[in-house]
Amino acid sequence: MKKKNLFINIGSLIGISDGYPKRPLKGAEMNRIDKLDNAFLYVAGDTIVDYGDMNDLGNISEIYNNYDNIYDVKNQFVIPGFIDSHTHIVFASWREEEFIMKLQGCSYEEIAKKGGGILNSAKKVQLASEDELFYTALMRVNEVTNYGTVALEIKSGYGLSLESELKMLRVIKKLKEYTKLPIKSTFLGAHAIPMEYKDNRNAYIDLIISKMIPDIANQGLAEYVDVFCDEGFFTLEETENILNAAVKFGLRPRIHVSEMSNNGGVQLGIAHNAITVDHLERIEDEEISALLLSKTLPTVLPQVSFFLKIPFAPARKMIDAGLPLVIASDYNPGTSPSGNLQFAISLATIYQKLTPIEALNAITYNAAHALEYENQLGSIQRGKKASFLILNSNVKNLDFIPYHFGSNKVEKVIINGEIR
């Protein structure tokens, strides 16, 4: 029997999507948020069954007989859970020593050239046991759920050998099974050229194409493929070859582009039907025009700009041009050592001039589309999963969420009907 849980006295039930278009919100629509004040929400098992005005709930003694549990939300706000569509949450250790190099003036590219960066993480992942990787990643997943993340994408890409990439992807699979969270898995073998292939990069790309992709696809270990298509990492041509191979095995692209340089990666992603193109710090008007003609979702990662002190992606310009927008954390030890999406939306409002509502839609409704969870997650709707957040009593309006940066505004996290 499915447990019947009734949440009553919700101050404001926010992000009700019955009236929204059945696609990502774009342009001016991104500033829309539908809500119901003084509301109830009825959940059976893991699913939202109904919601409505408290005044329509009827006689309270009857109500008590009809439900297994009744939770008094005490006038606090309820919003859809956050969806983090871009993370590298599986890694063996932090890289705070590189942070100090950065503070002393070294750039991300310079650190990478000195054997730091992704290659540093790869060395450590290769040495780590599968259990060690699993438990440390699990702790981080638990950490981000406390900040309101109810679903996420996780990339491989710190393995950089067949064996270690498979190890990372098995860890992601185990996280899915163990946490029961909706998690999508992305193969990012093309994250960097491993040291041993420094003088023979084609051999590594061959390994990705002829061995890694088929093995991973045959074992069902990834849903998507990613490439770090940027200066100093993978060229347009290399990216194209990898995407062509991956698509044949049913792995849809979501790629890293235009973080270090604007190299045409956006257009390449669009041409390969990428579900998202991520980063976009250096894009220009041409890329915005190309995105407007496509279904590829632009994803920005404001924590990376903050942490690396590089330009922020032109998110305001993108929305004003009519684009949809997704925001993600990029949680990783090198360029975004935080998976707190509440901080990401503070940055998006302060530095990218988004409104609090636009930023919230970018990590909920639109982010659900970015992970193909739009039928299950991202908003309050009958039939969707009961994955939502009860905010703390300080929150009296949505502006408060990005405003009160650095603190956790989430009091309770409900994932698939389960109160965490």
Q: State the residues that interact with ligand NIG by CB under 6 A.
A: 88, 117-118, 121, 228, 256, 259, 304, 330, 332-335
Q: How far apart are CA 157 and CA 49, in angstroms?
A: 40
Joined tokens for residue 180: 């029961």
Shortest distance, position 158 Cβ to ligand NIG, whole Å: 7
Residue 348 CB, nearest approach to Fe ion (Å): 17
Does residue 165 interact with Fe ion by CB under 5 A?
no
- Asked if 230 touches Fe ion (CB under 5 A), the answer is no
Tokens of 78: 């309820």
Cα 167 to Cα 280: distance, rounded to the nearest angstrom:
30
Strand ranges for 304-387 from DSSP E: 326-327
Helix/strand/coil for 65: helix
CB of 183 to ligand NIG, least distance (A): 18
Coil, strand or helix at 39: strand
Residue 195 CB, nearest approach to Fe ion (Å): 21
Element (DSSP H or E) covering residue 414: strand 410-415
**Partner in contact with 118, chosen from ligand NIG, Fe ion, none, beta carbon below 5 to 8 Å by kind:** ligand NIG
Say which entry of Fe ion, ligand NIG, none residue 228 contacts (CB below 5 to 8 A, set by partner kind): ligand NIG
Residue 309 and residue 7: Cα distance in Å, rounded? 43
Taking the least distance from each CB to ligand NIG, the nearer of 86 and 385 is 86
Residues contacting Fe ion: total by CB under 5 A: 1
Least Å from the CB of residue 328 to Fe ion: 8
The smaller minimum CB distance to Fe ion, of residues 87 and 379, is found at 87
Distances (CA, A) of 43 to 54, 70, 287, 317, 409: 15, 10, 43, 39, 23
Nearer Cβ to ligand NIG (281/358): 281
**83, 364 contact by CB (below 8 A):** yes
Q: With binding defined as CB under 5 A, does residue 330 bind Fe ion? A: yes
Ranked by CB distance to Fe ion, the top (closest) residue is: 330
Q: Measure the CA–CA gap between 401 and 214, rounded to whole angstroms.
A: 44
Q: How far is the CB of 397 from ligand NIG (least distance, A)?
A: 33
| Residue 358 interacts with Fe ion (CB under 5 A): yes or no | no
* Partner whose binding site includes residue 331, from ligand NIG, Fe ion, none (CB under 5 to 8 Å by kind): none
With contact defined as beta carbons under 8 Å apart, do 11 and 38 qualify?
A: yes
CB closer to ligand NIG, 11 vs 117: 117
Query: In 251-376, at which residue ranges do the beta strands (DSSP E only) sit?
Result: 252-257, 276-279, 297-300, 326-327
Q: Which does 305 bind (CB under 5 to 8 A by kind): ligand NIG, Fe ion, none?
A: none
Any bridge partners for residue 40, and if so which?
Answer: 52
Closer Cβ to ligand NIG, 22 or 309, answer by number: 309
Taking the C-alpha atoms of residue 53 and residue 41, their distance in angstroms, rounded to an integer, is: 9
Give 121 or 340: the residue with its C-beta nearer to ligand NIG: 121
In the complex, the residues that contact Fe ion under the rule CB under 5 A are 330
